Amino acid sequence: MIEVFLPPPFVVEVFNANEAVRISLAIFTSVVLVFIDTMLRVLVEARNFNLATNREVTIKNTFLAIVWRGWSKVDVNGKQRRFLVSGKLREDMTKKLVKSYPWLFLLSFILLTLPDVEVPMLGRVDIFLCTLMYLIPIFIEIASCVENMIELEFVETRWFKRAIKLVKQTIDFIKSVKDAIK
């Protein structure tokens, strides 16, 4: 037989379970976006390595740069430079995963304990501030992914333009349904 123990009453009164689930989903989403951003950043560094060593940017050269070539030091304008092992890449990852994001998520959980104060335009202040805190890392990662895609010149590709067109069509469809309901 499985026994289920309920948390103490003061925890149930102070803590909003729905928001805790949303924060957990935001943490998962942020981790996935950090992974995607890291992969895009590695592709950017492999591309930069190929350009610095006067190699053509092809799938083969990019793969070789990621697996083997891109980890070495290269002379760029008389200076030794590393691409895939760059300090900036490591510092950014450490800053995101150790310094910034965990504190924002912890602050989100702490903000849930604020008193329930209703503001006419915002709703409950504690939930509004909590939501704001856990959405910050997601927006930062999306912006970083877009920045890496621009650097990789994915924005000019045919599939990216089709994806943007599809998003615009979806928004127009939602607006038309909304107007039809009115």
Q: pLDDT of 119-132, one tens digit each?
A: 777 777 888 888 88
> So what's the pLDDT on residue 8?
59
pLDDT digits (tens, 9 = 90+) for 100-152: 888 988 888 888 887 777 877 777 788 888 888 889 999 989 888 888 888 88
Domain ranges of the chain: 9-151, 156-182
Report how far residue 156's alpha carbon sits from residue 172's, in angstroms, rounded to the nearest whole number. Answer: 23
Tell me which of 11-15, 39-43, 77-81 is least confident: 11-15
Helices (H), the chain: 9-14, 17-52, 59-67, 87-94, 101-111, 125-151, 158-181
- CB within 8 A of 176, min separation 6: which ones? none
Q: Which two tokens stand for residue 104?
A: 């924002």
State the sign of the Cα–Cα–Cα–Cα dihedral 94, 27, 138, 136: negative
